[in-house]
């Protein structure tokens, strides 16, 4: 699957911008403030309906305007092109259209490549709370094993129902015995999710360690899955039964994969708590590349990689290695303030910003 074009019409500082994209690496080069990140954001918005920079889509609306809009053209392996359009308007809220018609998120994600973003603010994945890493891991496992894609959602639904029941028991509107069936249902939903997360991390661990080393992280980097409740459905159910009284006191479920952690460490210490900014950046890159390599090897659809400002903080040797990795397959967009920071292999397909608007388009 290939993204062949992106358009911002308008989005933030981009009044009207269109860029055609080829396979492989595309570099966006231009001075600070010219709109490179805005263009990546436009692409991300068109594909996912969200921003990677802000939770409030209205931030994308150009100052003084009333709406923002971005469009992407995606070509699938059979050569069929589809257009994805995302918009947000002060008056009408947001829309996400596939070939001009509203589509549900599942249909949209089926018709676009997964997207992975490296940007300075994405460090929350390393530095932030465990929920960020769980969500990210679940996205990866859905791309790796599409048949397991709904394990997270299924578990989430069961958890919400069990929590609601625990709340009713706490306020004496239900009895503890009512939990029997929900413990069993929750354990049955939890066990395959725990197994899938474990399998995902064991595939990623090797590539993560070697990529981190390649990108210059001193010390040994590793990732490890730390499930809150491991084992078979029967074992998880037994764990739930054991904690029943505590759960009723707490008013929520204190056992299960909603409390899992993906540990990311350097020399045995948490990078989240003790890592430097540079080490956290390297860990984030290593994780994204480990995922990409794993998906490539498994012949899955590889995520489109948006790498914002990644070159500036790497030395020339590491830039080369990064680009070499990118060249092994899949599509990537890189931003850079100047050509000097781009290795030769990344300077084949360069889009210079500001974009020169053709006379026809400007008319
Ligand atoms: N909602 C908005 N409406 C209009 N302009 C905006 C909006 N949000 C941000 N901008 C402007 O967009 C510009 C920044 O664009 P962007 O972040 O894409 O730059 P960049 O090329 O990535 O720069 P750098 O190399 O420094 O990262 C700033 O001038 C900022 O004021
Ligand atoms: Mg930028």
pTM of the model: 0.87
Residues of the chain with pLDDT under 70: 357-363
Atom of ligand 1 nearest to the CA of 35: 18
The closest residue, in CA terms, to atom 7 on ligand 1 is 12
What domains lie within the chain, and their CATH numbers?
Answer: 1-114+302-363 (3.40.50.300)
Atom of ligand 1 nearest to the CA of 13: 5
Which mutation among 6, 12, 14 tests ligand 1's pocket best, with the greatest number of atoms within 8 A of CB? 12
Number of neighbours of residue 165 by Cβ within 10 angstroms: 20
SS (H, E, C) the chain: CEEEEEEECCECCECCEEEECCCCEEEEECCCCCCHHHHHHHHHHHHHCCCCCCCCHHHHCCCCCCEEEEEEEEECCCCCEEEEEEEEECCCEEEEEECCEECCHHHHHHCCCCEEEECHHHHHHHHCCHHHHHHHHHHHHHHHCHHHCCHHHHHHHHHHHHHHHHHHHHCCCCCHHHHHHHHHHHHHHHHHHHHHHHHHHHHHHHHHHHHHHHCCCCCCEEEEEECCCCCCHHHHHHHHHHCHHHHHHHCCCCCCHHHCEEEEEECCEEHHHHCCHHHHHHHHHHHHHHHHHHHHHCCCCCCEEEECCCHHHCCHHHHHHHHHHHCCCCCEEEEECCHHHCCHHHCCCEEECCCCCCHHHHC
The pLDDT, as a whole number, for residue 363 is 44
Mutate to test the pocket of ligand 1, among 19, 36, 38, 337 (most ligand atoms within 8 A of CB): 38
pLDDT at residue number 359:
47
- Residue 24 is predicted with a pLDDT of 93
Query: Which of these, 108, 267, 244, lies nearest to 170 by C-alpha position?
Result: 244
pLDDT reported for residue 357: 63
Q: Is the CB of 56 under 6 A from ligand 1?
A: no
How far apart are the CA of 34 and the centre of ligand 2, in A? Answer: 8
Cβ of 33 closer than 6 Å to ligand 1, yes or no, is: yes
| Residue ID of nearest Cα to ligand 1 atom 13 | 33
CA of 175 relative to ligand 2 center, distance in Å: 56
Question: Given this model, what pLDDT does residue 358 score?
Answer: 53
325-352: per-residue pLDDT in tens? 888 888 999 999 999 989 988 888 999 9
């Amino acid at each position: 699957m290939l993204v062949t074009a992106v358009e911002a019409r308008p989005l933030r500082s981009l009044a009207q911008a269109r860029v055609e994209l080829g396979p492989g690496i595309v570099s966006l080069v231009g001075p600070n403030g010219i709109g490179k990140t805005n263009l990546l954001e436009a692409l991300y918005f068109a594909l996912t309906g969200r921003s990677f920079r802000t939770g409030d889509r209205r931030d994308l609306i150009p100052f003084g305007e009333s709406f923002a809009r971005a469009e992407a053209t995606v070509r699938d392996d059979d050569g069929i092109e589809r257009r994805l359009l995302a918009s947000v308007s002060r008056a009408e809220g947001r829309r996400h259209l596939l070939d001009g018609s509203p589509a549900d998120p599942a249909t949209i994600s089926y018709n676009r490549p997964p997207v992975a973003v490296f940007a300075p603010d994405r460090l929350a994945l390393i530095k932030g709370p465990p929920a960020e890493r769980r969500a990210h891991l679940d996205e990866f496992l859905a791309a790796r094993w599409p048949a397991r894609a709904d394990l997270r959602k299924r578990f989430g639904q069961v958890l919400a129902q069990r929590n609601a029941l625990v709340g009713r028991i706490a306020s004496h509107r239900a009895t503890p015995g009512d939990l029997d069936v929900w413990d069993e249902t929750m354990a049955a939903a939890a066990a395959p999710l725990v197994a899938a997360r474990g399998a995902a991390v064991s595939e990623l661990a090797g590539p993560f360690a070697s990529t981190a080393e390649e990108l210059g992280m001193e010390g040994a980097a590793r990732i490890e899955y730390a499930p809150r409740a491991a084992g078979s459905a029967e074992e998880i159910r037994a764990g739930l039964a054991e904690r029943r009284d505590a759960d009723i006191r707490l008013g929520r479920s204190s056992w299960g994969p909603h409390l899992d952690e993906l540990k990311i460490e350097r020399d045995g210490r948490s990078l989240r708590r003790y890592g430097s900014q540079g080490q956290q950046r390297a860990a984030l890159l290593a994780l994204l590349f480990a995922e990409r390599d794993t998906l490539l090897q498994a012949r899955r659809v590889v995520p489109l990689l948006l790498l914002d400002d990644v070159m500036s903080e790497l030395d020339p040797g590491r830039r080369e290695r990064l680009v070499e990795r990118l060249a092994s397959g899949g599509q990537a967009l890189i931003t850079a303030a100047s050509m000097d920071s781009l290795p030769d292999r990344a300077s084949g397909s360069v889009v210079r910003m500001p974009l020169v608007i053709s006379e026809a388009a400007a008319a």
